[in-house]
Structure 1
Amino acid sequence: MADRGSDVRPPYRWPDPDRDYTNGAFIPGAADYPPRWQAKAEAFRAALGPRAELDLPYGPAPRQKLDLFLPEGPPRGAMVFVHGGYWHLFDKSHWSHLAAGVLARGFAVAMPGYTLAPEARISAMTAEIAKACWFVATRIAGPLVVTGHSAGGHLAARMACTDIALPLTRVVPISPLTELGPLMATTMNAKLRLDEAEAASESPARLGLRPEVAAHVWVGAAERPAFLWQARTLAEEWACPWTADADRHHFDVIDALTDPASLLVETLLGPL
């Protein structure tokens, strides 16, 4: 078996929470992914022309804006995709191309920005994404589906929890962080500022799923063990299906969103 990225892996220590949640060090060519995402996203927006409504404000803060991508005909409903980056990296402009699969199925796609750490706590991000979802629900009639990747998967899952009221039909968190307790021991917590109280109130795995919302957890089968544990933990706590996508790692598990015939897109939309 080939050594996957051994030249950039952190030194082994056990236990090591930072290593548990390191993705790029275990993915060959990891540094090439963000510029590739950004180039594909820019080309997608340009090709969509007037059907890409950019930087629509859903609140007063600088990052409280979303991009709305419209299908060729009247939308059958809407999907909200929440980007990841451990709550402190990236922005909505990196991911536009991931709307392609759902858009081809006749659904509008919204991609919200949100205030990142350390400027905002995770609880504030949850409130912002809920506000963005309400904006989309008032703009686009029909079923509302929410998904997101990694930290965005966490925020997507939060939209289906019993403490949030949204007209939500289905949630499909992709590679989500669902139990935040372990992240308190990582060095990134200097930015996130998670404490015991917020870990409890913001962990979807500790919160109930609203009974009217259908849920399906998605994760790459080749992801870090911590992410497989996070995904399965939520599926068990919510008693919902989960899929470990064969041979997919943390950076390419989202690629299926570009394909309208993929099982991931079918899981998001069928039989809406």
Structure 2
Amino acid sequence: MDYEAEYDNRARVPDFPDIVADWIARSARLRGDVPAADLGIPYGPSSRQILDVMWPDTTRKAPVVLFFHGGYWQRQHPREVTFVAQGCLAHGVAVALAGYDLAPDVPLSTIIAQARAAAVCLHHRIKRRMVASGHSAGGHLAAALTATHWHDLDDRGADDIVTAGVGLSGVYELEPLLPTRLNDALRLGEAEAHRLSPTFWPVPEGRQFSAFVGGEESSEFLRQSRDFAAAWAAQGITADSAVIDGANHFSIVSQLADPASAMVARLVDLARATEDDRSPGA
């Protein structure tokens, strides 16, 4: 298996610069058009540890999806992908986008801790549970949050701050990255790669996860989503994988901007379910 080729998405999609440029333009338009937005909410000391929340109306009372951008934990910024909120906003669901520090400036374990801190901060701000979502590396972070025992970190709120997750082209098993150039910045050893792979984590009862992947992606990305969902389902967790025909690693993200897509429908259903049976700590 040529893992370098399997995980080199930019080589597989030569027009990715045009796709990303379109994301940035669409994101700027959405930030200008959204009914209400809370931008640059700090959740940690660094300039990248921020939350942007896009609200469907000015009441700020909607269910919430927390989204993490991709870039192999080494690239991108949440402002580049604000447009992913469009599909959920059309259904009355808010979307928060979290930034985080990047490798090699910080290790992956720190990035996971920052993602969790973003969720805790958002939970105390909005007084709601949420659904985690993310693309590529962000899918990994969404899975990490879905498997978190929140009272181990903060017992002031609900123990199910994140009730469910949706990943797009996620990297849920990290050991295949070890022989690739991606690990130059990640600096993972075999034991740490296994430890930080959500595929192998125990998951609290009642959580759910849907792993979407593009039909035009590499065999490894297809396998990652399939094996991840199977591993969590074997624990009794409601987990599934779905292939989006014709989508590649980058074009799949546009599904989130389409109010009629199956991915948005899943997110909206999960987000609305966070409003049900809320505990006193929620």
TM over 0.5: yes
TM-aligned CA deviation for residue 269 of structure 1 = 1.9
AA at the equivalent of 2:232:
W
1:108 and 2:107 are equivalent in the alignment: no
**Aligned-pair CA distance for 1:195:** 1.0
C-alpha contact (below 8 Å) 1:78/1:136 kept by paired residues: no
Give the counterpart of 1:47 among 23, 33, 55: 33
Q: Are 2:150 and 2:161, in contact at CA under 8 Å, matched by a contact in 1? A: no
Is the Cα–Cα contact under 8 Å of residues 84 and 148 in structure 1 kept in the other structure? yes
Picking from 231, 244, 252, the partner of 1:237 is 231
Secondary structure at 1:119 match in 2: coil
- For 2:242, what is the secondary structure of its paired residue? strand
Which letter maps to 2:208?
A
Contact 2:55–2:62 (8 Å) recurs in 1: no
The whole-number CA distance in structure 1 between the counterparts of 2:76 and 2:148 is 28
Distance between the aligned counterparts of 1:161 and 1:249, measured in 2? 27
| Gap regions ≥5 residues in structure 2 | 152-159, 234-238, 273-282
- Give 1:64's match in structure 2, choosing from 40, 43, 49: 49
Q: Secondary structure at the match of 1:31?
A: helix
Name the SS of the counterpart of 1:248 in structure 2.
coil
Q: Any stretches of 5+ residues in structure 1 without a counterpart?
A: 1-14
Give me the whole-angstrom Cα distance separating, in 2, the residues matched to 1:158 and 1:209.
9
Find the partner of 1:196 among 187, 190, 193: 190
**Matched-pair contact (CA < 8 Å) for 1:162–1:207:** no
Cα displacement string for residues 154-194 of structure 1 (whole angstroms, at most 9, x for unaligned residues): 11111122555541121111110011001111112111111
SS at match of 1:81: strand
SS in 1 for 2:45: coil
- Is it true that 1:139 corresponds to 2:133 in the alignment? no
Q: Give, in whole Å, the separation in 1 of the partners of 2:222 and 2:92.
A: 31
Match of 1:95 in 2: 81
RMSD: 1.6
Q: Which position in structure 2 is the counterpart of 1:32? A: 18
Number of aligned residues: 257
Residue type of the partner of 1:228?
Answer: L
After TM superposition, the structure 1 stretch with the greater mean CA deviation from structure 2, 85-94 or 254-263, is 254-263
Residue 253 of structure 2 is matched in structure 1 by: 254
Q: Is the 8 A contact 1:87 1:116 kept in 2?
A: yes
Q: Which portions of structure 1, spanning 4 or more consecutive aligned residues, are displaced by more than 4 angstroms?
A: 162-166
Contact 1:156–1:173 under 8 Å retained in 2 = yes
Which residue in 2 is equivalent to 1:3? none
Distance (whole Å) between structure 2 residues aligned to residue 19 and residue 163 of structure 1:
36
The aligned residue for residue 85 of structure 1 is 71
**Does residue 75 of the first structure (1) align with residue 61 of the second (2)?**
yes
Partners of 1:170 and 1:268 within 8 A in 2: no
- Which TM-score applies when normalising by structure 1? 0.90
For the pair 1:127 / 2:113, whether they are aligned, the reply is: yes
Q: Give the aligned partner of residue 174 of structure 1.
A: 168
SS at match of 1:241: strand
1:187 matched to 2:181? The reply is yes
Tell me the alpha carbon deviations over residues 43-86 of structure 1, each in whole angstroms, 9 at most, x when there is no partner.
Answer: 1112226x122111011122111111111144331100100001
In structure 1, distance between residues paired with 2:18 and 2:6: 22
1:146 Cα shift?
0.5
CA distance in 1 between counterparts of 2:33 and 2:56 reads: 13
Q: Distance in 1 between matches of 2:203 and 2:181?
A: 30
- Matched residues in 2 for 1:64 and 1:197: separation? 27
CA 197–163 in structure 1, closer or farther in 2 if over 3 Å, else same: farther
Matched, 1:149 2:135: yes
- 1:219 and 2:213 equivalent? yes
Following TM superposition, by how much is the alpha carbon of 1:31 offset from its aligned partner in structure 2, in angstroms? 2.2
Q: Which amino acid aligns with 1:243?
A: A
In structure 1, give the amino acid aligned to 2:77: D
In the alignment, is the contact (CA less than 8 A) between 1:76 and 1:141 conserved in 2? no
Greater shift, 119-128 or 153-162, is seen at: 153-162
What is aligned with 1:209?
203
Quote how far apart the aligned CAs of 1:112 are.
0.7
Amino acid at match of 1:111: L
Asked whether the equivalents of residues 179 and 204 of structure 1 are also in contact (C-alpha less than 8 Å), the reply is yes
